[in-house]
Amino acid sequence: MKIHILGICGTFMGGIALLAKESGIEVTGSDKNVYPPMSTLLDSQDIHVCQDFLSKNIDDDTDEIVVGNFMRRGMEVVEDMLNANQSYTSGPQWLYEHILKDRWVLAVAGTHGKTTTASILAWILEYADMSPGFLIGGVPENFGVSARLGDTPFFVVEADEYDTAFFDKRSKFVHYHPKTLVLNNLEYDHADIFPDVEAIKTQFHHLMRIVPSEGLVVSNHEESNLDDVLERGCWTAVEKFSAENKANNINDEKDTEWQVEYLQADGSEFRVFLEGEDQGVVKWNLLGKHNISNALAAISAARHVGVPVQHAIDALSEFKGIKRRMQLRGEINNIRVYDDFAHHPTAIKTTLEGLRANVGDRKIIAILEPRSNTMRLGVHQKSLIASLKIADQVVLYQPDDVQWNMDEIVSSLGDTASLYHNIDQLVEDVVSKANTGDQLLVMSNGGFGGIHDKLLEGLQK
């Protein structure tokens, strides 16, 4: 069998390519935006990627075209595909039919933390010698790839609420049929396809409808929107978790099975409780309350498939993190450059809080590119201002396609903020003002013009 993937360099579709190749299927693909880590990962697996979406890039002997959700009616390659009556499917549908249909699927859903939680969960299972398959929207350092088939029935998948394809407007995650489902959180996002948060709740309700009664739903106790989803209908056992500090008596509710006590303020060390009983202490390299939340969810989900809690806790001490999630790209003259995928105000806030707790009063310079569809539309403008206040300095880059004036953020933040329309000038100014001990936190869900390497090169000079 031979497939061609339209949009192959997206993290999800790139994962599909890896799984197909490992399954013995011949894979080609095409895309416009090609940048690491997915471009280098595909190249390392000898998967040929054609530049641009052109019909001539699709070989005549291709059996099926897997269509990414970036593709639209009116695009030449889509019109040619339909006119020629070629066989096509969506990525999520292909994943279910060829990979997930006979597996025990552990799905991780939510507005934030999906990649990290899915990576932690996959690593816990790996550490327990359960050799899981997985498809994750990032590259976990413990594995070096974003997807693999695995050798057992267990398969961990990052379950996105974004729509499936131009011909299937359901959320991706309804295709996966999970037996173990993690619900991290639920906030308004994807303003290009959802009119409000209620529309997103409806999609989560559709997901709840297909979780079997013998399965498990792991839900964040702190998220009222998730409670709303559960109240609409839940036919499955539920375990709840909270990353609030148990020592402060904040989360002593009887219906919260999983709780924690902070042993380090930055979240690098914490004690885990299950139904009030001490389960052990996690000491790991990740920071912040949001990552404690991710860890609890993963521990609970892993327990559902038979991993003892202490074994999961031991696994976390060897978890290496994920590329582009608070990834330290380099340190020069005691100036650190981090790369983070944060692109929603809540994720930006929690990332900055974790870094602040870790570095104390050292200067944090937040460098942000608003690249997601929701950010480009300016939907989260006010909450973005509040999130960025944690940083000592804020450096904003405004791409040409941003549909709102980012000067308003600069005005609200005052002298601590600056706005640029040129990346090279931005880099030059940041480098010239950076001092020993500064933390440069770059936040974007795109390539950001290779800014990380440019900053490191500038600092080296």
What backbone torsions phi and psi does residue 122 show, to the nearest 5 degrees?
Answer: -60, -40
Q: If you write DSSP's letter for every residue of 290-334 in order, what string do you get?
A: HHHHHHHHHHHHHHHTT--HHHHHHHHTT---BTTSSEEEEEETT
The residue ranking higher by pLDDT, 38 or 7, is: 7
Strand bridging mode 147-148 / 133-135 = antiparallel
Average pLDDT over residues 409-423: 85
Cβ-Cβ contacts under 8 Å for 101 (sequence gap 6 or more) = 177
| 243-299 per-position pLDDT tens digit | 998 877 655 556 789 999 999 988 999 999 999 999 999 999 888 888 999 999 999
CA gap 263, 313 in Å, rounded: 15
**Cα–Cα distance measured from residue 155 to residue 135, given in angstroms and rounded to the nearest whole number:** 8
Q: Is the full-model pTM beyond 0.85?
A: no
**Per-residue confidence band for 414, with pLDDT thresholds at 50, 70 and 90:** confident
Residues in contact with 13: Cβ distance below 8 Å, sequence separation at least 6, in sequence order:
5, 7, 29, 66, 68, 91
Q: Summarize pLDDT for 114-158 with one digit per residue, the tens.
A: 999 999 999 999 999 999 999 998 889 999 888 999 999 999 999
Residue with tokens 């009222």: 224
Residue type, 100: L
Point out which residues pair with 3 in neighbouring strands: 27, 64
Closest to 390 measured CA to CA, from 413, 406, 370, 374: 413
Domains parsed from the chain with CATH numbers: 2-90 (3.40.50.720), 102-316 (3.40.1190.10), 327-460 (3.90.190.20)
pLDDT digits (tens, 9 = 90+) for 311-353: 999 999 999 977 777 788 898 988 999 888 766 787 788 788 8
Tell me the average pLDDT across 108-119: 93
Residue pLDDT, tens place only, 72-92: 999 999 999 999 999 999 999
Average pLDDT over residues 65-72: 95
Please give the biggest Cα pair distance in the chain. 65
Which of these ranges, 27-36, 58-67, 175-184, 205-214, has the smallest mean pLDDT? 27-36
Apex CA 379: angle with CA 373 and CA 382, to 5°? 135
Contact partners, residue 69, CB within 8 Å, separation at least 6: 7, 90, 91, 162, 163, 164, 165, 166, 172
* Helical axes 224-232 vs 197-208, angle rounded to 10°: 50
Give the pLDDT score at 398: 82
Residue 35 pLDDT level (bands cut at 50, 70, 90): low
Distance CA 239, CA 432 (A): 51
- Give the whole-angstrom CA distance, residue 395 versus residue 419: 6
Comparing CA positions, the residue from 139, 159, 182 lying closest to residue 91 is: 159
pLDDT at 377: 56
Alpha carbon distance 257, 264 (integer Å)? 22
